[in-house]
């Protein structure tokens, strides 16, 4: 009977210690979760893009995607085309080259 009381007392101490540890840990966990879901440090939301600006970004992305695949000599040619005729013409040129 005395041994059972001793075991129960040790168990209660252990549970108390666990409870205190969890109480210390809870604020840290909630802070970490809120930091991951929060917007950037500036607190500003992303600006809305006009259809024209969005189309320009899509076109720029396509241009960059094509340029990434080209060999250095081809890149030089595409840059010249872009300077003279614009991005749309520069994108049209690599599309016609196809894989070598």
* Per-residue pLDDT tens digits for 11-39: 999 999 999 988 888 888 877 777 666 55
**Could you tell me if residue 49 is inside a domain?**
no
Give me the mean pLDDT over the 47-73 stretch. 91
The verdict on 58 and 29 lying in the same domain is: no
Tell me which residue range forms the domain holding 12.
1-38
Higher pLDDT, 83 or 91: 83
Contact 59, 90 (CB under 8 A): no
- End-to-end CA gap in the chain: 87
Residues in the chain: 100
**Could you tell me if residue 63 is inside a domain?**
yes
Show contacts of 11-19: CB within 8 Å, 24+ apart. Answer: none
**Could you tell me if residue 45 is inside a domain?**
no
Q: What is the pTM of this model?
A: 0.49
Show contacts of 34-38: CB within 8 Å, 24+ apart. Answer: none
């Amino acid at each position: 009977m005395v041994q059972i009381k001793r075991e129960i007392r040790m168990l209660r101490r252990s549970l108390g210690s666990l409870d205190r540890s969890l109480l210390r840990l809870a604020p840290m966990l909630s802070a970490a979760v809120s930091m991951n879901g929060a917007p950037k440090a500036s607190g500003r939301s992303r600006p809305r893009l006009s259809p024209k600006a969005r189309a320009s970004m899509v076109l720029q992305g396509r241009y960059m995607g094509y340029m990434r695949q080209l060999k250095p000599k081809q890149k030089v040619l595409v840059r010249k085309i872009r300077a003279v005729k614009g991005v749309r013409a520069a994108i049209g040129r690599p599309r016609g080259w196809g894989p070598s």
